[in-house]
Structure 1
Amino acid sequence: MVIYRFLSGDDDSAFCHKVTKALSEGWLLYGEPHYVFDAAAGKMRCGQAVTKEVADQPYDPDRKLVDY
């Protein structure tokens, strides 16, 4: 089974660390990063989709994706 997450945050080093942590845990980048200007906050926000192949098991929407 492939699981999917979309990571988002301010366009700063903390976001880069979030993505790097996901990669170190076996997640793979999926597609291109996305950037948008948050006019209310006055700053750039970014997002990156990641996927991970996990052992076949029933999907449980109450389970945190990082726990697969």
Structure 2
Amino acid sequence: MPASSPAPFKRYRLLTGPDDAAFCQRVSTLLDQGFELHGSPALTYDPVRQCVIAAQAIIWPADRPAPQPQNG
């Protein structure tokens, strides 16, 4: 049976946003849930918003079953 990522997530995601604490927290939260980094981050400057935009790919490993929902 193939592994599946936790709902509603896909096995591959590309996270993007301003390179700030909120972006780092989004990545960290997904890593804590079991996703893994895929490749290196990318950065670019948005002159309209006058900020650095970060991108980081994450994957859900194919050999890892999705976590079971917690009752509580």
Structures share fold, TM-score greater than 0.5 = yes
- 2:16 paired with 1:5: no
Q: For residues 25 and 36 of structure 2, what CA distance do their matches in structure 1 show? A: 14
- 2:33 paired with 1:22: no
Pairwise CA distance, 1:54: 5.1
The structure that is strand-richer by fraction is: 1
Q: TM-score, normalised by structure 2?
A: 0.69
- 2:10 paired with 1:34: no
Moved over 6 A (4+): none
Aligned residues: 55
Pairwise CA distance, 1:53: 2.5
Q: CA-to-partner distance for each residue in 1:15-66, whole Å, 9 max, x for gaps?
A: 10000001011100000001000111111010100000257xxxxxxxxxxx
Aligned equivalent of 1:51, options 52, 59, 69? 59
Larger Rg: 2
Q: TM-score, normalised by structure 1?
A: 0.73
Query: What SS does the corresponding residue of 1:40 show, helix, strand or coil?
Result: coil
| Structure 1: runs of 5 or more not aligned | 56-68
